[in-house]
Amino acid sequence: MTRHITRAVLGAGALLVTGSLALTACGSGFDDNGGGGGASDDGSLSILIGSSGDAETAAVENAVAAWSDESGVDAEVQVANDLPQQLSQGFAAGSPPDLFYLAPEALAGYAGNGSVQAYGDDLANEDDFYPSLVENFTLDGEFFCAPKDFSTLALVINTDLWAAAGLTDADIPTDWDSLASVAQRLTTADHVGLAFGAEYQRVGTFMAQAGGGLLVDGAAAANSPENVEALTYVQQHLNDGSFAFAADIGAGWGGEAFGTGAAAMVIEGNWITGALTNDYPDVNYTVAELPAGPAGKGTLQFTNCWGMAADSANQEAALDLVEYLTGTDQQLAFSEAFGPMPSIQSAADAWTSANPDLSAFLAGAEYAQFPPNVAGAADVITDFNAQLESLKTGDPQTILDSVQSNLEVIAE
């Protein structure tokens, strides 16, 4: 889910909404009338993906080709230029793809009008997926679709700047007080101690650590005392200069702020590793779990699932392909090729062995929250993000009251 999200979307100055994977992807996509490449009744399968680039495209194409050779079922992968738009066009034209990347915030709308098939309980590997990911794609008790991979947020630390500030491994922050302390020590005229995007998809980690969140048991809870405490904490340190929003220090996203040395620490997902390798290879860093807040540890997770069209004439073959693509070997191959973490627990040990320095990201799966997946949540989060841009001078309670009003409309 996913280094490419932030690089491709946040790097362009747009907002990452609810972890949607590479929605501004490159590639050919459907034809201009929105109907090309749709589900067919000739026994073949069509697959529509959003891609971060050549590595992801090649990995998916090769995996589907290998399955096709084994199964004898023809299958074609198409890469969307704008996945939400082209998927919507395919459904409107009556010719959606058989399988497609589906973001959590889009699930409720498609499920509500009967466009997507709820096949999760038919998966042979159903019990292998992380429970929080299953919950992410469960509506009204139905597990709709297989999470294809996922990402979490962690604390990324510039080890050279850390050492220059006289800090050691013993100083890696474990709670809000120690985070504030090291951020202050790391802040100089040249760089801020901690940076992150001015958006719920980063600030929401503090809400989780305070014991809050946007929805609690399906009910709107944006203006809870816990969330007010979280935003007040962030605001305090924005104003003392030890925290900063990435845009306020001239960066398009946290990875850029970190790579250019404008921030000594950032809150980012495991997709940052690709950005650092490709764009900032000389930056030395380590990754730690996010510090606990008043209520304990908290982070956010981002994922997509393999959506299946309810009108697909080839659902048996589509289910078999999903099981192949979400199997241990294939998910580990995807991780090596383009960076996401496997969505199945059986791959955890192998992934950790291959990526020991990134284990903090996988550890977050045990306590991660996911953004709301109810219909209309994306619009609410977009509005929340616009208000967070002025958090430094704004009133946390007023901001959250506004979000609460918007959430109550869609959570009824």
State pLDDT tens for residues 245-270: 999 999 999 999 999 999 999 999 98
Spell out the domains of the chain, with CATH numbers in brackets.
Answer: 3-151+301-369 (3.40.190.10), 153-300+373-411 (3.40.190.10)
Spatial CA neighbour of 361 closest among 149, 64, 70, 167: 149
pLDDT per residue as tens digits for the range 187-243: 999 999 999 999 999 999 999 999 999 999 889 999 999 999 999 999 999 999 999
pLDDT at residue 40, as a whole number: 52
Average pLDDT, integer, range 336-340: 87
- The residue that leads in pLDDT, 41 or 91, is 91
pLDDT per residue as tens digits for the range 119-144: 999 999 999 999 999 999 999 999 99
pLDDT at residue 375, as a whole number: 85
Average pLDDT, integer, range 379-400: 96
Q: Above 80 in pLDDT, residue 84?
A: yes
pLDDT per residue as tens digits for the range 346-361: 999 999 999 999 999 9
Average pLDDT, integer, range 145-155: 97
d(CA 300, CA 365): 9
pLDDT per residue as tens digits for the range 11-66: 222 223 333 333 222 222 333 333 334 555 668 999 999 987 888 999 999 999 99
The two structure tokens encoding residue 186: 């790391």
Judge if pTM exceeds 0.85.
no
pLDDT at residue 41, as a whole number: 61
Spatial CA neighbour of 90 closest among 75, 118, 110: 110
Which region, left, alpha or beta, applies to residue 133 given φ > 0 means left and ψ of -120 to 50 means alpha? alpha
Q: 315, 186 in Cβ contact below 8 A?
A: no
Identity of residue 94: G
| Per-residue b or e along 342-376, where b marks 16 or more CB atoms closer than 10 Å to that residue's CB | bbbeebbeebeeebeebbbbbbbbebbbbbbbbbb
Q: Above 90 in pLDDT, residue 3?
A: no
